[in-house]
Amino acid sequence: MDLFGNLIIGFESALSLQNLLYAFMGCVLGTLIGVLPGLGPLATISMLLPFTFGLDPTAALIMLAGIYYGAAYGGSTTAILVNLPGETSSVVTVLDGYQMARQGRAGVAIATAAIGSFFAGCVGTLILAAFAAPLASVAFRFGGAEYFSLMVVGLIGAVSLASGSIMKAIGMILIGVILGTVGTDLNSGVQRFTFGTPNLWEGIDFIVIAVGLFAFGEVIASLESDANRETFTDNMGRLMPRAEDFRRMTPAILRGTSIGALLGILPGAGLSLSSFFSYSLEKKVSRFRGELGKGAIEGVAGPEAANNAAAQTAFIPTLTLGIPGSPTMALMLGAMVMHNIQPGPQVMTSNPALFWGLIVSMWIGNLILIILNLPLVGLWVRLLSIPYRVLYPAILLFCCLGVYSVQFSTFDLFLAAGFGLAGYALRKLECEPAPLVLGFVLGPLLEENFRRAMVLSQGDYMVFVREPISLCFLILAAALLITAMFPKIRRERDAILHEET
């Protein structure tokens, strides 16, 4: 079936009353989570995963996707007004957005972020619709060796693009892979790393790790943050940009959209790196690069367009290959598995209403989001005054209810609390917990495809380099790891992300 016919199927699914409602709910929750500092899409999706069990799979994925790209929208509001990114992809927006607010142009900065995000989100969704089917057809040719090597690329991508120490990131990946092996081996029936505890015979539930590391861990870490910041929520200034502002922001939006669309497809790249590369490019090619860091509109338009384009195209490897390109995509992959949907190229043919309905819902979601981010900006601003002593206990209660409702197990609650403390400890040790989740999700798949390749090749390890596609993936993984080890590259990245305003 051609693209036009597939989109008709998608519109029929996405425009149903139920799916429209859940798309709206996801966008509202995503924007809310993006606005409130200390939270993020990882923590929010982790909290809500248990409550999607009773939903139709299409509705559940549409809502979770709305939270994901809605947070990319909402995070810019806090970055601009409070000098505190609502979520990680808005780190770069702080550099110029907050300076624009100090100059009395907070409204223009917020409108610029919304306009750039809307355009980039629509383009990213169009790319997803156009390239998902061809990529899925290629994926049908993959065997065990090719899938194994592709997953290695995804894991190495997460390692090479993580901030901080390469060795710490590798350690997080390995811990995640080991945690993924806990339970009973389906091939041999042997119990692995269960320590004689019957509660671990079926392995560690994905919800427990996700909620513990991100929701619990984020709350504990945020309690230490300094809430006393200079804010500009009273004097917003005019909202709509002038003609000169549009003239300056347009090239930055186009460049940011191109960068984000490309990096979103690559496993491990993520939204934050897209913003970083966009800002770095503006510092090299913009006619007004001397103003960057001092309130240049390009410093808001480019990164915001980049992270929203990446938010859409990140679904391509997840939906078509079953390989999550980011920690949030790993949660989306886990949601699909929980709803008995096997990720990979067969989703497009076995469940076209879900696949194309999700894609079309992104167009609808982007329209909802620009409505939420411009006329309702005053509402989001007021949310910044919510006392965190009220907010965080409610989040913890919601998390506990979600974890307990999965298997009605108090053991899972204690386990989630343990992972929460571990998540806090990892942050204090400057170890990112996100690669651990990627390792946990991809670890069992990595092992399964390794075994499959070994069986088909009769134990010949050379199968991974004899197959051309597998060899290319392994070379790419090695190149990513070697490149990331160059001190100059890491210094340049850290310099921009930690630049003083």
Identity of the residue numbered 190: V
DSSP tag of 191: E
The neighbour count for residue 309, using CB atoms within 10 Å, is 35
Cα–chain center distance at 431: 18
- Per-residue pLDDT, 11: 86
Q: Exposed, middle or buried by CB within 10 Å (0-12, 13-18, 19+), for 65?
A: buried
| Angle in degrees, CA 479, 485, 489, rounded to 5 | 95
Q: In terms of pLDDT, which residue wins out, 467 or 442?
A: 467
User: 65-69, 158-162, 200-204, 303-307 — which is least confidently predicted?
Assistant: 158-162
Q: Which pLDDT band holds residue 377 (cuts at 50, 70, 90)? A: low
Q: Exposed, middle or buried by CB within 10 Å (0-12, 13-18, 19+), for 405?
A: middle
Residue with tokens 């999965």: 406
Q: What is the dihedral of CA 278, 171, 395, 409, to 10 degrees?
A: 140
- The listed range with the strongest mean pLDDT (90-99, 170-179, 223-232) is 170-179
Q: In terms of pLDDT, which residue wins out, 129 or 381?
A: 129
What distance in Å separates the CA atoms of residue 29 and residue 365, rounded to the nearest whole number?
12
Phi and psi at 409, nearest 5°, equal -120, 120
- Mean pLDDT on 315-341: 75
- Mean pLDDT on 249-262: 89
- Mean pLDDT on 308-322: 79
What distance in Å separates the CA atoms of residue 15 and residue 10, rounded to the nearest whole number?
8
Identity of the residue numbered 442: L
- Per-residue pLDDT, 387: 65
**pLDDT tens readout for residues 444-456:** 878 888 888 888 8
Q: Which pLDDT band holds residue 220 (cuts at 50, 70, 90)? A: confident
Mean pLDDT across the chain, nearest whole number?
Answer: 77
Percent pLDDT > 90 in the chain is 2
pTM of the model: 0.67
Quick one: tokens of 127?
A: 């790319």
Identity of the residue numbered 124: G
Judge contact between 310 and 264, C-beta under 8 A: yes
Q: Which pLDDT band holds residue 336 (cuts at 50, 70, 90)? A: confident
- Per-residue pLDDT, 497: 45
**pLDDT tens readout for residues 95-126:** 788 788 888 888 888 888 888 888 888 888 88
Residue with tokens 């139920």: 18
- Mean pLDDT on 346-351: 74
Q: Which of 439, 416, 431, 397 is nearest to 212 (CA)?
A: 416
183 forms beta bridges with 192
Q: In terms of pLDDT, which residue wins out, 270 or 429?
A: 429
- Per-residue pLDDT, 501: 38
The number of helix segments (H) and strand segments (E) in the chain equals 24, 2
Q: Which of 404, 477, 423 is nearest to 156 (CA)?
A: 477
